[in-house]
Structure 1
Amino acid sequence: MRQLSLNSVPIPLLRWVYRLIVVSLAALAALPFANASDTKHDALMESVHQFLYRETQALGNEVVINLRPPSPHLSACNNPDPFLTNPNEAPLGRVSVGVRCGTDSQQVRYLQAEIDVIGSYTIAAVNIERGRQITPDMLGEKTGNLGDLPSRAITQPDDIVGKVARQPIASGTTIQSHFIQAPLLVERGQRVKVIAEGDSFRVSREGEALNNGAMGEEVRVRFGSREVMSARVVERGTLMVDF
């Protein structure tokens, strides 16, 4: 077999071989570090996955969670305690998850996740006019990726039935929270009864409502020409003063 001396190898080829050796050695040197980094964050990733899985079980039958791992430069998170940064919103689509670390939970990290849930959601089965109170027969059901729905979509019919349409809703439309409102139990200008009660007393007065109100909402009430106070709607035409 013919042997070549280095002197006979072209300079460009030598440079290419040198670069290949350097890159290969760098890759090999990085492997243990990458594996150690993955192991370092295993407990954190597993804890967040389980947390998101529990939070999404009631939303649908099929759940796909893609969790972005933390930076390999961060230290390990001991005793991870995940929580949703927006607890009032369903964990769908792009979600931010906070994680408290350590026994004192003073260190907090944030991870990003993409969550797809295949399940059923509510749509309008007919055209619903503005001002109409929604009944069960006006609603239908559809199946799809809940993560693709608008952020304010309402998926459960129980949260829609009995509400009043604030705007026309076309058949087949996903119903969003700002499309509907609770029915008014008090209207502006109406004579209302205001009740105040405590441990050993109960009194009531009549006044004039200065604004509309649904169940549980605050309404300002005027007594006479000057006295005005706020009270909470408890039933049609009746309000309660909270102490």
Structure 2
Amino acid sequence: MNPAPARRKARIALRLLAVALLGCVTWSAQADDAALQQLLTDYLRSQTAAEGEVDISVTMPAIAMPACKNPRPFLPGRNPRVAGNITVGVQCPGDRPATRYFQARVNVIADYYVAARDLMPGDVIGMADIRREQGDLSRLPGNVATRPEALVGMSASRRVAAGRALSESMVHAPVAIKRGELVRVVAVGPGFSITTEGKALNAAPLGGDVRVSTQEGSIVIGRSTNENTVTITR
């Protein structure tokens, strides 16, 4: 009996088995990558604070990585903004590599606000001064205003052209007391109330701290309670 055909059949069978095993490993790795990609997508969606339509795309490496048995997603850096092109990490305790990083794109289509007219420094903003628009927040400043409450009643810090997106850094609480103006100083405590006048040594918004030089020559610190009153509580 010629053993050659038998050996050839055995080699072919081994090759077919190897191909099958390789196919199983590749499929398993692809399945693990798909599960990890979905996990990272869900994690990024949970970290997106803005309301609106969120589209997330996580790029997986071209070569399948070893399985991550207990994946723990995280965002590198301190309080990163979850919008635009970002990096997302995953910790794989006990596996190699133990920490892996992936690139992702997060688009957030939501409402934001722009100036409805030219705003000048010191202008107090009302609803008629802002206009709602919708767009991709990842292409706008990180602190773009998405709620009217962040703008209405505030004072413009600088000139803002009509149509420009408004960010919370462009506004501040309106000044209630100006530096150098005369103010009424009210000191209140258990069973007493004393009123005098003085000069404000610093500007302050409503509720802000004010240093006042009183008529008696002393310097006191109180809180602005309206446009010309500083209250000291004892």
Number of matched residues? Answer: 207
Distance 1:77 1:228, change over 3 A: farther
Distance 1:157 1:37, change over 3 A: same
Distance 1:41 1:222, change over 3 A: farther
Say whether residues 1:189 and 2:180 are aligned partners: yes
In the alignment, the residues of structure 2 paired with residue 101 and residue 193 of structure 1 have an alpha-carbon distance, to the nearest angstrom, of 62
Say whether residues 1:67 and 2:58 are aligned partners: yes
Which residue matches 2:48?
56
- Superposition deviation, residue 115 in structure 1: 0.9
Superposition map of 1:154-169 within 5 A = 154-169=145-160
Q: Secondary structure at the match of 1:116?
A: strand
Superposition map of 1:1-243 within 5 A = 36-40=28-32, 44-56=36-48, 58-60=50-52, 62-69=53-60, 76=68, 78=70, 80=72, 82=74, 85-87=77-79, 91-97=82-88, 111-190=102-181, 191=183, 193=185, 208-215=199-206, 217-221=208-212, 236=227, 237-238=229-230
Superposition TM-score, scaled by structure 2 size: 0.63
- Superposition deviation, residue 187 in structure 1: 2.3
- Superposition deviation, residue 65 in structure 1: 0.8
Query: Contact 1:81–1:101 (CA<8 Å) still a contact in 2?
Result: no
- Superposition deviation, residue 235 in structure 1: 5.0
1:205-238 CA-to-partner distances (Å, cap 9, x unmatched) read 8665432222454545557767666x66565433
CA RMSD in angstroms comes to 4.4
Distance 1:33 1:186, change over 3 A: farther
Percent of residue pairs identical: 26
1:150-187 CA-to-partner distances (Å, cap 9, x unmatched) read 22321222211111112222211111233221101232
Query: Contact 1:153–1:174 (CA<8 Å) still a contact in 2?
Result: yes
Superposition TM-score, scaled by structure 1 size: 0.61
In the alignment, the residues of structure 2 paired with residue 110 and residue 219 of structure 1 have an alpha-carbon distance, to the nearest angstrom, of 50
Paired residue type of 1:80: R
- Superposition deviation, residue 72 in structure 1: 6.3
Q: Secondary structure at the match of 1:169?
A: coil
